[in-house]
Amino acid sequence: MLTRRATRAFISPPSDPTPEVAVKGRSLWADAGARFARNRAAVAGAVVLALLCVFAFLGGLISPWDNETIDWGMLGQVSTVGGPSLETGHWFGVDETGRDLYARTVQGTRISLAVGIIGALVAVGIGTVWGAVAGYVGSRVDNVMMRLVDVMIAVPYMFVLILLMVVFERSVIMLFVGVGLISWLDMARIVRGQTLTLKNREFVEAAIATGVRTPTIIARHIVPNLLGIVVVYATLLVPSMILFESFVSFLGLGVQEPQTSLGALIAQGASQMRNDVPWMLGFPLAIFVILLFALFFVGDGLRDALDPKDR
Amino acid sequence: MTLLSVRDLSVTFDVPRRGAMPWAPPLRLHAVSNMSFDLAAGETLGIVGESGSGKSTLARAVIGTVPMSGGEVLWEGKPLSGMSPTERRGLRAQMQMVFQDPLAALNPRMTVGEIIAEPLRTHRDVPRREARLRAQEMMERVGLLPNLVNRYPHEFSGGQCQRIGIARALILEPRLLVCDEPVSALDVSVQAQVVNLLRRLGREMGLAMIFIAHDLAVVRQVSDRVMVMYLGRRMEEGPARAVTDAPLHPYTRALIDSVPVPDPRAPRRARAIRGELPSPLNPPSGCVFHPRCPRAHPDCSEGRPPVLRPTPGRAVACPYHEGTD
Angle at B194 between CA B191 and CA B195, to 5 degrees: 80
Chain B residues close to A211, C-beta within 8 Å: 89-90, 92-93, 119, 122-123
pLDDT digits (tens, 9 = 90+) for A209-239: 888 889 999 999 999 888 888 888 888 888 8
Nearest CA to A131 out of A145, A121, A150 is that of A145
Bond into A258 cis (ω within 30): yes
Q: Which domains does chain A have, with CATH numbers?
A: 38-67+97-310 (1.10.3720.10)
Residue A20 has pLDDT above 70, yes or no: no
Shortest Cα distance, chain A CAs vs residue B53, angstroms: 20
Look up the ipTM and state it.
Answer: 0.84
How many Å separate Cα A28 from the centre of its chain? 22
Q: Do B93 and A23 touch (CB under 8 A)?
A: no
* Cα dihedral across residues B113, B114, B115, B121: positive or negative: positive
Per the model's pLDDT, the better-predicted residue between B187 and A63 turns out to be B187
In which band, very low, low, confident or very high, does the pLDDT at A8 lie, cut at 50, 70 and 90?
Answer: very low
What CATH class has B2-13+28-94+174-258+270-316?
A: alpha beta
pLDDT above 70 covers a percentage of chain A that reads 88
**A170-179, B210-219, B288-297: range with lowest mean pLDDT:** A170-179
Q: Average pLDDT, stretch A100-109?
A: 86
Shortest Cα distance, chain A CAs vs residue B293, angstroms: 35
Which residues on chain B place their C-beta less than 8 Å from a C-beta of chain A?
A: 60, 63-65, 89-90, 92-93, 96-97, 99-101, 104-113, 118-119, 122-123, 145-152, 154-155, 165, 168
Q: Is A306 exposed, middle or buried (0-12, 13-18, 19+ CB in 10 A)?
A: buried
A212: closest chain B residue by CA: B122
Residue A172 has pLDDT above 80, yes or no: no
Nearest CA to A279 out of A267, A268, A269, A264 is that of A269
pLDDT on residue B307: 84
pLDDT on residue A7: 41
pLDDT on residue A72: 72
pLDDT on residue A13: 46
- This prediction's pTM: 0.79
Chain A residues close to B60, C-beta within 8 Å: 205
pLDDT on residue A311: 41
In which band, very low, low, confident or very high, does the pLDDT at A107 lie, cut at 50, 70 and 90?
Answer: confident
Please check whether residue B50 is in contact with residue B230, taking contact to mean a CB–CB distance below 8 angstroms: yes
Q: Is A215 exposed, middle or buried (0-12, 13-18, 19+ CB in 10 A)?
A: exposed
Chain A residues close to B111, C-beta within 8 Å: 25, 27
pLDDT digits (tens, 9 = 90+) for B101-151: 988 999 988 889 999 999 998 888 889 889 999 999 999 999 999 988 888
Q: Where are the alpha helices (DSSP H) in B128-236?
A: 128-141, 158-170, 188-205, 216-222
pLDDT on residue B324: 57
In which band, very low, low, confident or very high, does the pLDDT at A30 lie, cut at 50, 70 and 90?
Answer: confident
In which band, very low, low, confident or very high, does the pLDDT at B268 lie, cut at 50, 70 and 90?
Answer: low
Shortest Cα distance, chain A CAs vs residue B123, angstroms: 8
Q: Do B92 and A209 touch (CB under 8 A)?
A: yes
Count of helices and strands (H, E) across chain A: 14, 0
- Please tell me the distance from the alpha carbon of residue A129 to that of residue A218, in angstroms, as a whole number: 9
Helix (H, G, I), strand (E, B) or coil at A9: helix
Shortest Cα distance, chain B CAs vs residue A110, angstroms: 35
A205: closest chain B residue by CA: B65
The secondary structure element, H or E, covering residue B115 is helix B112-123
Q: Do B101 and A205 touch (CB under 8 A)?
A: no
pLDDT on residue B117: 93
Q: Choosing among B91, B107, B145, which should be mutated to test the A contact, i.e. which has the most A CBs within 10 A?
A: B107
In which band, very low, low, confident or very high, does the pLDDT at A310 lie, cut at 50, 70 and 90?
Answer: very low
Chain B residues close to A225, C-beta within 8 Å: 107-109
What is the spatial order of strands in the sheet that B44-48 belongs to? B95-98, B176-180, B208-212, B44-48, B225-230, B233-239, B315-316
**Biggest CA pair distance of chain A:** 99
Going by their DSSP bridges, the two strands B2-15 and B70-75 should be labelled as: antiparallel
pLDDT digits (tens, 9 = 90+) for B39-67: 999 899 999 988 888 888 999 998 888 88
Q: Do A23 and B123 touch (CB under 8 A)?
A: no
Q: Do A211 and B93 touch (CB under 8 A)?
A: yes
Strand partners, A15: none
Q: Which of A22, A23, A210 is facing B118, going by the closest CB pair? A: A210
Q: Do A18 and B106 touch (CB under 8 A)?
A: no
pLDDT above 90 covers a percentage of chain A that reads 17
Q: Do A210 and B63 touch (CB under 8 A)?
A: no
Q: Which of B101, B112, B148 is facing A202, going by the closest CB pair? A: B101
Chain A residues close to B109, C-beta within 8 Å: 27-28, 224-225
Q: Average pLDDT, stretch B316-324?
A: 77
In which band, very low, low, confident or very high, does the pLDDT at A10 lie, cut at 50, 70 and 90?
Answer: very low
Average pLDDT over all residues of chain A? 80
pLDDT on residue A204: 93
A311: closest chain B residue by CA: B154
Average pLDDT over all residues of chain B? 86
Per the model's pLDDT, the better-predicted residue between A19 and B172 turns out to be B172
Please check whether residue B179 is in contact with residue B98, taking contact to mean a CB–CB distance below 8 angstroms: yes
Q: Do B108 and A209 touch (CB under 8 A)?
A: no
- Going from the C-alpha of B300 to that of each of A240, A241, B254, the distances in angstroms are 68, 69, 18
Per the model's pLDDT, the better-predicted residue between A164 and B180 turns out to be B180
In the DSSP assignment, the letter for residue B210 is E
**How big is the A-B interface in CB pairs under 8 Å?**
95
Q: Choosing among B60, B80, B92, B118, which should be mutated to test the A contact, i.e. which has the most A CBs within 10 A?
A: B118
Please check whether residue A224 is in contact with residue A178, taking contact to mean a CB–CB distance below 8 angstroms: no
Q: Do B110 and A220 touch (CB under 8 A)?
A: yes
Chain B residues close to A216, C-beta within 8 Å: 122
In which band, very low, low, confident or very high, does the pLDDT at B269 lie, cut at 50, 70 and 90?
Answer: low
- Please tell me the distance from the alpha carbon of residue B278 to that of residue A251, in angstroms, as a whole number: 66
**Biggest CA pair distance of chain B:** 67
Q: Average pLDDT, stretch A170-190?
A: 82
Which residues on chain A place their C-beta less than 8 Å from a C-beta of chain B?
A: 16, 18-28, 201-203, 205-213, 216, 220-221, 224-225, 311
pLDDT digits (tens, 9 = 90+) for B19-44: 777 777 888 888 888 888 899 998 99
In which band, very low, low, confident or very high, does the pLDDT at A5 lie, cut at 50, 70 and 90?
Answer: very low
Q: Average pLDDT, stretch B75-81?
A: 86
In which band, very low, low, confident or very high, does the pLDDT at B185 lie, cut at 50, 70 and 90?
Answer: confident
The secondary structure element, H or E, covering residue B78 is strand B78-79
Please check whether residue B164 is in contact with residue B144, taking contact to mean a CB–CB distance below 8 angstroms: yes
Residue B199 has pLDDT above 60, yes or no: yes
